[in-house]
Amino acid sequence: MPSPSEWWRSAVIYQIYPRSFADSDGDGMGDLPGITSRLSDLRDLGVDAVWLSPFYLSPQHDAGYDVADYRTVDPRFGDLGDADKMIAEARSLGLRVIVDLVPNHTSNEHEWFRAALAAAPGSPERERYVFRDGRGEDGSEPPNTWLSVFGGPAWERLPDGQWYLHLFDVSQPDLNWGNPEVRDEFVAILRFWLDRGVDGFRVDVAHGLIKDAELADWEWGGDVILGGLTPEGAPPPPMWDQEGVHEIYQQWREVLNAYEGDRILVAEAWVQPAERLARYVRPDEMHQAFNFEYLVTPWGADPLRQVIDRTSGANATVGAPTTWVLSNHDVMRHASRLGFSDGKDHRNGIGVDDPQPDAPLGLRRARAASLQMLGLPGSAYLYQGEELGLPEHTTMPDDFREDPTFERSGHTEVGRDGCRVPIPWEADSPSFGFGPADASWLPQPAAWAEYALDRQRGIPGSTYELYRSALRLRRERSLGHGTLSWLDTPAEVLAFRNGDLLVLTNFGDAPAELPLGVRVLLSSEPLTEDGRVPRDVTVWAA
């Protein structure tokens, strides 16, 4: 087992996207029994814990982030017995389990929302959500100017004339966190899963639960928050990062603290600057918050050094470790993202007509980036498939797209399906071993055979073996608990020490020298013949 004391400070946590990890029954949709059957592979990889994206009852209008019942497993994924078996198997393998909690909104098929629709304006049923009368003479204008993160207005009108708020899809009505009934219900949901033995919760849209009391107008794009930066001249967004969210997490922390073991809360909060994000991980609130600022930082020595300093520094002021991440189910996989050299932001998905990434360059940089990340002190999250060097599916035909972003943006954004494609396990099996049948809810590119686990396991130099070696060394050397000190290097080289380990990345054309007398332990690509570090390569040496 990982160290029982504050295991999360140094943990490597592997994100499982249940739809796309492993399919046990051949319906093309990943499921809990599939996950259970593959947990030993994650043990072999060497991670400490898994986080599962939502598997609860849901009409799946946002791939399960629209929850209809927080205490029921969606039949596509299995049932509660399957969840119990998955948790038990993880425990027997020494892996911890984090589940997803979606408190900002429910599905429109949740019994509360159905009751709200059936009830009259002003009723207690409507008080659980954000219902308002419209503006204009006949109330036909939305109550304010807010936009949905997925595109279009954030308000939907009902036949009786009232409007409800949905910061995401129209099928995801926002809850009213000013209502004590909502608070009580979520404490009960936390307890339900804690009692089943989970080690923690990844909290969806953790910065969004409380809205400005006046619901003040805000004209800027709803997706602005994904950029994390308020546009110049704009007042702070009235829907994100309001002071009132913190008391909710303080209450949840008390709930978790009353359980034995070390149960954790991790914030999905697209909040900048780092000092604001650090407030989510104060000692009496959450344990971790994803460092998205690091994820979106362009590939370069200077920007990376700055972001590492800035974010670790901000967290240090509240005694929290940093939580590194390079990929997840919402952004372009880093093996593709880093394959662009135009200096633009490439976190959003792309289609066949868009400029395509340089795949070999992307993979080379992704390996260097991951090796750098795993050498940093703190915790790190991996997204399923990155250990295979898996790229984004950047040429998916539009007919397959399911992300609501595609429709709601009027097809101007293709959305996030490209990072959600079922992953390859066996090169020569149907659906590349994702399931027993040749079925996969999103199409897998033919070229993915070469990324399959069975083509990489035991092959020196494969991306999989690079991750496995890095995770082993990281554990042996307690890198997660270490401290970082920078080395003086040329401008295009980034190098730091974590304990005895030297981590060096070269971003420049000229091969970089390693300090005299060090021994190379791991390298994201072969070194030059005379032992120097080529461009876009990270080395671990001691």
Q: Which residues are catalytic, by number?
A: 204, 268
How many alpha carbons lie under 13 Å from residue 4 in its C-beta half-sphere? 3
Considering only residues 316 to 345 of the shown chain, the ones binding ligand NOJ according to CB under 6 A are 329-330
Ramachandran bin of 458, using left for φ above 0, alpha for ψ from -120 to 50, beta for the remaining angles: left
23 vs 62, beta carbon nearer ligand NOJ: 62
330 makes contact, choosing from ligand NOJ, Mg ion, none, with CB < 5 to 8 Å by partner type, with: ligand NOJ
199 makes contact, choosing from Mg ion, ligand NOJ, none, with CB < 5 to 8 Å by partner type, with: none
Q: What is the nearest approach in angstroms of ligand NOJ to the Cβ of residue 156? A: 16
Helices 80-93 and 32-45, packing angle to 10 deg:
10
Task: Give the CA distances from residue 419 to residues 41, 177, 478, in Å, rounded to whole numbers and listed in that order.
Answer: 21, 32, 31
**406 lies in the site for ligand NOJ, by CB under 6 A:** no
Q: What is the nearest approach in angstroms of Mg ion to the Cβ of residue 434? A: 9
290 vs 448, beta carbon nearer ligand NOJ: 290
CB atoms closer than 10 angstroms to residue 459:
11
Considering only residues 273 to 332 of the shown chain, the ones binding Mg ion according to CB under 5 A are none
Task: Report the C-alpha gap between 181 and 522 in whole angstroms.
Answer: 53
Task: Report the C-alpha gap between 149 and 414 in whole angstroms.
Answer: 14
Q: What is the nearest approach in angstroms of ligand NOJ to the Cβ of residue 95? A: 22
**90 lies in the site for ligand NOJ, by CB under 6 A:** no
End-to-end CA distance of the chain: 27
27 makes contact, choosing from ligand NOJ, Mg ion, none, with CB < 5 to 8 Å by partner type, with: Mg ion
| Letter string b/e over residues 299-308, b meaning 16 or more CB atoms within 10 A of that residue's CB | bebeebbebb
Question: Which position's Cβ is nearest Mg ion?
Answer: 31
23 vs 268, beta carbon nearer ligand NOJ: 268
**470: enclosing H helix or E strand:** helix 463-476
Task: Measure CA 35 to chain center.
Answer: 18
Member of 62, 156, 293, 413 binding ligand NOJ (CB under 6 A): 62
54 vs 377, beta carbon nearer Mg ion: 54
Member of 23, 204, 386, 525 binding ligand NOJ (CB under 6 A): 204
Q: What is the nearest approach in angstroms of Mg ion to the Cβ of residue 59? A: 17
270 vs 467, beta carbon nearer ligand NOJ: 270
Member of 65, 70, 340, 381 binding ligand NOJ (CB under 6 A): 65
For the record, the structure tokens of 159 come out as: 């036949």
Member of 55, 77, 129, 168 binding ligand NOJ (CB under 6 A): 168
Question: Which position's Cβ is nearest ligand NOJ?
Answer: 65
Q: What is the nearest approach in angstroms of Mg ion to the Cβ of residue 177? A: 34
Furthest C-alpha separation in the chain? 79
Q: What is the nearest approach in angstroms of ligand NOJ to the Cβ of residue 231? A: 21
Residues 6+ apart with CB under 8 A from 17: 30, 53, 329, 383, 384, 420
Considering only residues 9 to 68 of the shown chain, the ones binding Mg ion according to CB under 5 A are 23, 25, 27, 29, 31
Task: Kindly state the DSSP code that residue 323 receives in the 8-state scheme.
Answer: E
Matching residue, tokens 């460092």: 291
25 vs 125, beta carbon nearer Mg ion: 25
**293 lies in the site for ligand NOJ, by CB under 6 A:** no
Beta strand 264-267 with 200-203: parallel, antiparallel or unpaired? parallel
Which residues are near ligand NOJ by CB under 6 A? 62, 65, 102, 168, 204-205, 268, 329-330
